[in-house]
Amino acid sequence: MKGKLKEFFELNPTQNTNRHKDFINYIDTASVENGVLTNIEFLSCNFPSRAQRIVKYDDILYSTVRPNLRHYYHYRKNYDHLVASTGFVLIRNKNAENYSTRFLFYYLSSNSVVKHLSNIAELSQSTFPSFSPKDLGKIDLPELTIEKQTKIASILSAYDDLIENNNKRIKILEQIAENLYKEWFVRFRFPGHETAEFENGIPKEWNRDKIHTYYNTCSGGTPNRGNEEYFENGVYPWVKTGEIKDCVIIDTEEYITQEAVKKSSAKILPSKSLAMAMYGVNIGLLAYLDAGFTCNQACCVFVDKRNFSSINYLYQYLKSIREYLLSISFGAAQQNISQEIIRKIKIIMPSNEIITAFEKQIDNIYGEIRILLVKNKNLTVQRDLLLPRLMSGKLEVER
């Protein structure tokens, strides 16, 4: 079938506004990335004003802001009272016999379409680069039979199934790491706990002191975006707070050049750094960074002062006190927390022996996570390379 997207799909269907009063399962734009749903928020009251779009099975959610960030998702689960943010365009199939929603999702996630929408967004007059539902509706769809669309979607879905399985394994490994932290440092069942003597609620050999006693902190910077040479053919991964999501970051959306590092506040970070978002909706979220990464000024980066690593412990500790971090943040328009405040936060620091033992176990867990993330990255690249070849006929689809 050939035609415009709006001919086969409804965009933000009318009479589709949230009327639930008791509870909703809410999807915000930050909750999806590259087709993966990372978070659903159960809300029983105080629904956000943007929580308006009722989501049904087979709907596509596509963020209208900064399309290059790839906040899109094809919903194929079964949550009650599922509602999405108005930051998405909700795309609903008019007739599945005419066009495949799954195929459309892959087409809209292709590099060519994302680039097209990004170009439109950059020319917009809004506060943030964005496109309108009308822009999406004007996109020409590939002229393929429904049978071929279905077959292509089936081939590409096999890659997504592998990625989803890897993501499930990552979640399990992350939970194992968190459980070990709680066992050792919340329940105090660490190696040798049977003979440990306690004072003021912690073992005698442990200390309670300010974070800056154990860690150096710094932030980064944003090179002048008016100078394309700072970003074109960049060699250093450049982390923005939107990418910090309690995760290991192995790749970034943008890279910056050596010249950009020289002429901005961005700095090359050492291996085993830990970053925390200081501003906006991601405030308090964390990410592991490997050697050679850089970041923007909204990140607080922690590096060990001592000659051994305790970053895994710090990650779990900061995660465990997140509600406190949010309570001491400030700002009317946008919440933020300063490096000065972070450096003065008290941290319970176990003995060197216990920390070293904990780090060794957690390093093994996060080593497995890194392997899975690399596999997912390779699977994503292979899948995205397949789509244009399958559509063009360069790679035959079995009938």
pLDDT tens string 243-277: 899 999 999 989 999 999 999 999 999 988 999 99
Average pLDDT, the chain: 93
* Total number of domains in the chain: 3
Q: Are residues 270 and 378 in the same domain?
A: no
- Indicate whether 127 pLDDT > 70: yes
- The predicted model gives 91-110 an average pLDDT of 95
- Indicate whether 333 pLDDT > 80: no
Q: Are residues 68 and 95 in the same domain?
A: yes
**Structure confidence by residue, pLDDT tens digits, 4-37:** 999 999 999 999 999 999 999 999 998 898 898 8
Q: Would you state the pLDDT for residue 285?
A: 95
- The predicted model gives 276-289 an average pLDDT of 92
H helices of the chain, where? 5-8, 101-108, 111-122, 133-137, 146-185, 258-262, 311-320, 322-328, 339-344, 352-392
Check: CB of residue 256 under 8 Å from CB of residue 234: yes
Place of tokens 């497995």: 368
The answer to whether position 83 is within a domain reads: yes
Q: Are residues 158 and 272 in the same domain?
A: no
Q: What's 183's domain CATH number? A: 1.10.287
CB neighbours of residue 31 within 10 Å: 19
- Indicate whether 204 pLDDT > 90: yes
Q: Would you state the pLDDT for residue 128?
A: 85
- Indicate whether 332 pLDDT > 60: no
- Indicate whether 335 pLDDT > 90: no
Q: Are residues 182 and 239 in the same domain?
A: no
Check: CB of residue 110 under 8 Å from CB of residue 380: no
The answer to whether position 302 is within a domain reads: yes
| CA dihedral over 314, 336, 283, 295, signed as positive or negative | negative
The answer to whether position 233 is within a domain reads: yes
Q: Are residues 18 and 87 in the same domain?
A: yes
> How far from chain centre, in Å, is Cα 374?
15
Q: Would you state the pLDDT for residue 280?
A: 79
Q: What's 33's domain CATH number? A: 3.90.220.20
Check: CB of residue 92 under 8 Å from CB of residue 8: no
The answer to whether position 153 is within a domain reads: yes
Ramachandran angles phi, psi of 379, nearest 5°: -65, -40
The answer to whether position 13 is within a domain reads: yes
**Structure confidence by residue, pLDDT tens digits, 156-185:** 999 999 999 999 999 999 999 999 999 999
The CA distance from 37 to 48, in Å, is 19
Residues 6+ apart with CB under 8 A from 26: 40, 41, 42, 43, 47, 48, 51, 83, 84, 85
Q: Are residues 296 and 342 in the same domain?
A: yes
The answer to whether position 199 is within a domain reads: no
- Indicate whether 330 pLDDT > 90: no
Q: Are residues 185 and 252 in the same domain?
A: no
Q: Are residues 397 and 306 in the same domain?
A: no
Check: CB of residue 336 under 8 Å from CB of residue 283: yes
Q: Are residues 138 and 151 in the same domain?
A: no
- The predicted model gives 362-377 an average pLDDT of 96
Q: Are residues 61 and 75 in the same domain?
A: yes
Q: Are residues 244 and 260 in the same domain?
A: yes
The answer to whether position 197 is within a domain reads: no
The answer to whether position 198 is within a domain reads: no
Q: Would you state the pLDDT for residue 399?
A: 53
Q: Are residues 17 and 120 in the same domain?
A: yes
- The predicted model gives 188-212 an average pLDDT of 95
> How far from chain centre, in Å, is Cα 318?
18
Q: Would you state the pLDDT for residue 284?
A: 94
- The predicted model gives 65-92 an average pLDDT of 94
Its domain, for residue 360, covers 145-192+351-399
Q: Would you state the pLDDT for residue 391?
A: 82
